[in-house]
Each structure stands twice: as C-alpha cells, then as structure tokens.
A and B are shown apart, each in its own frame.
Chain A
C-alpha cells in the first residue's frame, strides 16, 4: 500500500481506447496506461503501424503487395520481406500441428496465409504495446480477443461470445460469457459462417468444399494466434474436432451447430462467467 520504491511510484493510470481500421476489420485497444496521454497515443499509433505494414505485405486484395506478386509467380519467398518467410514457416508448422486441418495452401496451390496474418500482426502489435510499458489492456482484433497479463479490471477478464448469426441479424446478440480470471488462458478466437459466408474451406476435400457441420467455433487458448488457428482448423474439421481438441493441452472450445445446439470441450464448463 505504501511502497514508495521507484518501481512502484508510477503515475495514476489513465483509461484509453484506440480503434483502428486495418486489414479490412476493426482493431480495438482498450485499457489503462501509466504513460502520458500523448505518449500513449504515440505507442498505440506505432503499434497500429505494425498492422498496416502487415497488410501492405500480405494483402491479396492489393495487386502490388509482395504476397500478391508471390501468388502470381513474379517473386520468390527469399526476395520478399522477412515476415513472409516467417509466416510461411509458421503456416507449415501449424498445418502439421493441426493434422492438416489448418492450411494456408489453397486448392489452387497458392499461398494464402490470411487466416494467420491478422492475429499474428495483432499479437506483434500487442507485444509492442507491452514493451512500451502499457500492460493493462485488452485487444479486440476483429472479433478475436486477447487479454494482457496485467489487466486490473474484473470486467476485462470476461469476454462475450456472439450468437452464430450476423451481428446484423434480428436475433443478434451475446450467446454466453466466459471469465478467464485465474486461468492460464489469455485469448479467444471465433470462426464462423455468420458474417462472411462460407469462407473456410475443408483442406482435406477436393476443391473448395466449405466445412458445413458447425456454424461457429470459439476457441480459448493461452495466446491469440493459437486460438485463431485452432478455431479455423476446428471449423474445417467439423464434429470430430471436439474429440481432437480434447486431446490438445491448454485449449478449450465451444461449438455451435446449425440448429443452435451446442457442444464443448470437457473443460469449457469451468470457464463460464458466474453470477457475482
């Protein structure tokens, strides 16, 4: 309480919120910063520059991006920025880890790492913010959410899960809430067909056969990229993903079927938020 050592004599933390549109979605940093308003703003803008830089490199919507040029065979991985090689290796590793259910290699044999790039970049941006001394915040990367170790508000440990309908649907809203306080988990990612249609294909089927069994999968993990990759993989794998994820350490998941029925991994029940 009365510790006047320099390490603890920080200024009063001020709440902040920063929303950035990047990579075709919204990124929202919210928390409390010990820095001055202007320093906080500088740190967040620099963190968001990481997101825009990733978009510049990896966007397949931009014809002149290194990745678009790679897809057209105009350049090689070696000639691309180092991040491309890093992502390529990460995608190969995740494909092995998920038994092939996460794949960045399309049925047309081109490289489409967009399933990984958003949370990879978000994670880098969050690490940058942490390194600059802001340790009490959450980051919502277009619906994939991470919590920093140092959050001080109880509400920040609780995350809602959307119903598996478009947020624009008449019955849109919150399906349930989880509370990650006093757990090893710091991230949740949700994959589904509600907002973008069937955008995840089954990498083990010929051609682009969309995975149909679930309408939504939410995965809770220690970090954002792990949650994101497994959410994508489980959505593609379908019903067998329940047993599959039960065999993976430090992963919990909630599955929603098209008829509204739910399923979950064995430990998920412990994560539901409880009445105060």
Chain B
C-alpha cells in the first residue's frame, strides 16, 4: 500500500550489493540480518510487564472509546475492550490518515495486544502515527479505570 515506486518489501529478501558505494558489503548485511531479527523481536515483544487494568475486581468485559487524538495526518480514536483485567481487543475503526496510512493500524494493534501495554523501544524515524496511537491507547486505558 505504498504510494512510492519502490519495491513493496525491500527487506524481506537479501539483495547482494552490486554498486561500488556498497563498501561494507556482505559483513554489513549479515550483521544487519542478525541485528534486524533481534530488533523486530524486541519491537514485537518488548520486555514489558503485563498491564493489568481495573485490578482484581474487573471480571466483566468493559469497552471504552478514547478521545480523538490528533496527529500530523488525521486523528486516532481507539475503542478498547478489557476482559478479566486485561486488554482483549483494540479497535481503530474510526481513525483517519492519508495515503494508505491506515494499513499500519492492524499491525500496531497486534503489537499492542502482544505486548499488553505501550512499552515500545525508542525508534528513530518518522513516528507521528505511533505516538498518536500510544496517546490514544493511554487515554482509553485511563478511561477503563
């Protein structure tokens, strides 16, 4: 769902360097494969404690919707469901974004549920969507009480 003309997934297959500027060569690539694998694992499964919402009294299912959190390309609004004190579902159906940026949300949702919290690593890059997502998630969690 990219709008640019680059290949859809340049990092899922290893392309050996051919140009002179690629001075670091295969060493770099193998190091990156190792580091990248760790990174993805760290990103998907950040070392976080399980977030327990509502304490021991929250045995019933509870659903709340966050405020609309604005960001660079639109807004994020999350509907969060908790069951037995844990997040059981996060719905981002009403969030807006331009240029197919909606595509990220299902992944972010999976990450959030897998991590049961918002403990992402520091990531350098463009992080607008992630930050809005985190703020909306925290807002919704605070409403769960």
Residues of A bordering B, CB below 8 Å: 19, 21, 24-26, 28, 30, 138, 140, 142-145, 155-156, 158-163, 165-177, 188-190, 192-196, 215-216, 218, 239, 242, 258-264, 266, 268-269, 272-275
- The interface on chain B, measured as residues whose beta carbon lies within 8 A of the other chain's beta carbons, has a size of 59
Give the docked Cα–Cα distance between A162 and B39 (Å). 10
B78 proximity list for chain A (CB < 8 A): none
Instruction: State whether the Cβ of B7 lies closer than 8 Å to any Cβ in chain A.
Output: yes
* Residue among A167, A242, A258, A261 having the largest count of chain B Cβ atoms under 10 Å: A167
- What 1/0 flags go to B19-56 for Cβ under 8 Å of A? 10111100110011011101110110001000000000
A30 CA / B131 CA spacing, docked (Å)? 13
Q: How near does chain A come to B139, taking the closest CB pair, in angstroms?
A: 10
Minimum CB–CB distance from A112 to chain B (whole Å) comes to 17
A176, B6: Cβ atoms closer than 8 Å: no
If the complex has contacts A167-B126, A174-B36, are A260 and B11 also in contact, measured as CB distance less than 8 A? yes
By a CB distance below 8 angstroms, the chain A residues around B11 are 163, 171, 173, 175, 260
A-B contact pairs, 10 of them (CB 8 A): A26-B128, A158-B121, A162-B123, A166-B99, A167-B126, A169-B1, A195-B129, A258-B5, A262-B32, A275-B34
- How many residue pairs bridge A and B at CB < 8 Å? 207
Q: Are B103 and A189 in contact (CB under 8 A)?
A: no
- B interface residue numbers (CB < 8 A to A): 1-2, 4-12, 15, 17, 19, 21-24, 27-28, 31-32, 34-36, 38-40, 42-43, 47, 69-72, 97, 99-105, 107, 121-132, 134-135, 138
Residues of A within 8 A of B122 (CB): 28, 30, 138, 140, 145, 156, 159-160
Additional pairs, 14, CB under 8 Å, beyond known A167-B104, A169-B103, A262-B32: A24-B72, A26-B127, A142-B128, A155-B42, A160-B39, A160-B124, A161-B124, A163-B11, A166-B129, A170-B8, A177-B38, A177-B39, A196-B126, A269-B31
